[in-house]
Amino acid sequence: MQSPVIDVLGVFLPRRLELSWAHCLGILSAGFVCKVLWGQYGILRHDKLPSSDLGWPIIGKTLAVFRMSLEDFGRAVMQGRAVRITNFFFSNVALVSYPVYQRYLHRLELDGELTPAWLTSTATVLGLRSVLVLPGGRGHALHKRLRGKILSSLAPRPTLATLPRLLQLVRAALDALAEETARHGSATFEETAASLASKASTMMITAGLSPELQAAVEEQLDEVFSGLVSLPLDLGRFTAHGRAMIARRKLTSILRELMDCPNLERQNIIRDLAKASEEGAGFSVDEMVDTVFTLLVAGRLTTSEAMPEIFVRLSAGRDWAARVAREPLEFHSVEEDSATLRVVRESLRVRPPAGAYRRVCRDAIDLGEHGRIPPGTPMAVLIGNALKDMGADFDPDRWTPEASRSDFLAFGGPQPHACIGRHLALLELQVFARVLCREYDFVAIEPELVPNPKSPIAKVYKDGLRITITKKKSAS
């Protein structure tokens, strides 16, 4: 006798329950699509939800992000609002203006109730013990210990000790561009800027290594960087994320050898982090690896886009270039007020290293008149919008010491995950600007920002920023 259960199921399935692979795949696909759609549109069931634009089913507003860059998308989708919920990269996110963050979220951040909400690919590449991935603020002792030791190793004094090496790196890069200009009539700058940023970010990590090993670190870093924002699909060499993870494993092997080396140079940060200090115990191998990855990636990201912007602005603003050229190549303080520092800060305002940082809270967050963020919804704090709202004109003089202390958000502002390498970044960019203006004649040829086909995060200069540059006779 046939089971009653089969009689019921027979309404929906073939009489003998002979499901083909096509049936199984169809059912699984339908279930997956329903789950994705619920993850995207289910948020609309919540009360007091802020204004939302979730875009097309499944893909959301992802195509718009690729078309205009993530930073420009953040300005366009807000349309003057203080909070807006949207969807891209297959995830909902609440875009939050910086004034709303200050009023409703900053205290939660300091109290340790907000957690970094990186894209899966980014968090995986950086590592679970990265200070950018770990929750920070009150009650998070591991983050406090790691961050404290890193900040001590990257304090102004050890950073200033890198000045001779920075001068060598900058001059070598600019001399190579001058040679390219002499051969071809022009050169492209953005690739050189990325390479210079990589060399500077690895400088305190690879100090004392052979040139071959330093080159290997930089090569693997290129692969890591290309997979930082990508589909988190690890298919080895066949996907960007897979290639990034292969590079991460190779770099991990190099770093383990470095930690075991008894003869590291005094300026090598690994030596400092591996030993106990008043900031806490020395780093474990896993903590060291994730920390070094964070420093490598953040160091390159912070300055690789700022240098082209500084080049363009000084090419157009000859008065500022002349003021920078009159300043010495000696530094008594990383953040001593100067024309150079003001140009650097204004360039970072115009093109910040990251236009937003992402956070999430396990509880719902009431934003008063702006609505209520549902529990577990990622939030993107739009510091880039706040910086650009300061004005359309390029005006370095806005950055008085007082304004710099209160309004300069390019490194994240006053929060537990603010940029750990700010001193090195500021010194690197000031050295670049002063050497450029003192020792070279230079022109940016028709600079135009366009979407980056390799990454949706920010725009790049068309054709890699074509330039001409020659060494001044007085500097030869």
Alpha-carbon span 388 to 398, nearest angstrom: 13
Separation of CA 34 from chain center: 33
> Which residues have a Cβ under 8 Å from the Cβ of 386 and sit 6 or more positions away?
97, 98, 99, 409
pLDDT of residue 8: 43
**442 contacts 324 by C-beta, under 8 angstroms:** no
CATH code for the part of the protein at 46-475: 1.10.630.10
For the chain, give the secondary structure using H, E and C.
Answer: CCCHHHHHHCCCCCCCCCCCHHHHHHHHHHHHHHHHHHHHHHHHHCCCCCCEECCECCCECHHHHHHHCHHHHHHHHHCCCCEEEEEECCEEEEEEEHHHHHHHHHHHHHCCCCEECCCHHHHHHHCCCCCCCCCCCCCCHHHHHHHHHHHHHCCHHHHHCCHHHHHHHHHHHHHHHHHHHHHHCCEECHHHHHHHHHHHHHHCCCCCCCHHHHHHHHHHHHHHHHCCCCCCCCCHHHCHHHHHHHHHHHHHHHHHHHHCCCCCCCCCHHHHHHCCECCECCCCHHHHHHHHHHHHHHHHHHHHCHHHHHHHHHHHCHHHHHHHHCCCCCCCCCCCCCHHHHHHHHHHHHCCCCCCEEEECCCCEECHHHCEECCCCCEEEEHHHHHHCCCCCCCHHHCCHHHHHHHCCCCCCCCCCCCCCHHHHHHHHHHHHHHHHHHEEEEECCCCEECCCCCCCCCEEHHHCEEEEEECHHHC
pLDDT of residue 265: 60
* Tens digit of pLDDT at every position of the chain (476 positions): 444 444 444 444 555 556 688 878 888 888 888 988 999 999 999 999 999 999 999 999 999 999 999 989 999 999 889 999 999 988 999 999 999 999 999 999 999 999 999 988 899 999 999 999 999 999 999 999 999 999 998 999 999 999 999 999 999 999 999 999 999 999 999 999 999 998 888 887 766 667 777 778 878 887 888 788 788 889 999 999 999 999 989 888 887 877 777 555 656 788 788 888 888 888 888 898 899 888 888 888 889 999 999 999 999 999 999 999 999 999 999 999 999 999 999 999 999 998 999 999 999 999 999 999 999 999 999 999 999 999 999 999 999 999 999 999 999 999 999 999 999 999 999 999 999 999 999 999 999 999 988 788 889 999 999 999 999 988 76
pLDDT of residue 142: 95
Alpha-carbon span 306 to 311, nearest angstrom: 9
Alpha-carbon span 298 to 306, nearest angstrom: 13
pLDDT of residue 444: 98
Nearest alpha carbon to residue 355 among 29, 81, 130, 65: 65
Backbone angles phi, psi at 56, to 5 degrees: -70, 155
* Domain segments of the chain as ranges: 46-475
Nearest alpha carbon to residue 384 among 357, 360, 405, 403: 357
**205 contacts 220 by C-beta, under 8 angstroms:** no
Burial code (b: 16+ CB inside 10 Å, e: under 16) for 113-128 equals bbbbbbbebbbbbbbe
Alpha-carbon span 271 to 260, nearest angstrom: 10
> Which residues have a Cβ under 8 Å from the Cβ of 262 and sit 6 or more positions away?
none
> Which residues have a Cβ under 8 Å from the Cβ of 415 and sit 6 or more positions away?
106, 109, 110
pLDDT of residue 297: 84
pLDDT of residue 262: 53
pTM of the complete model: 0.89
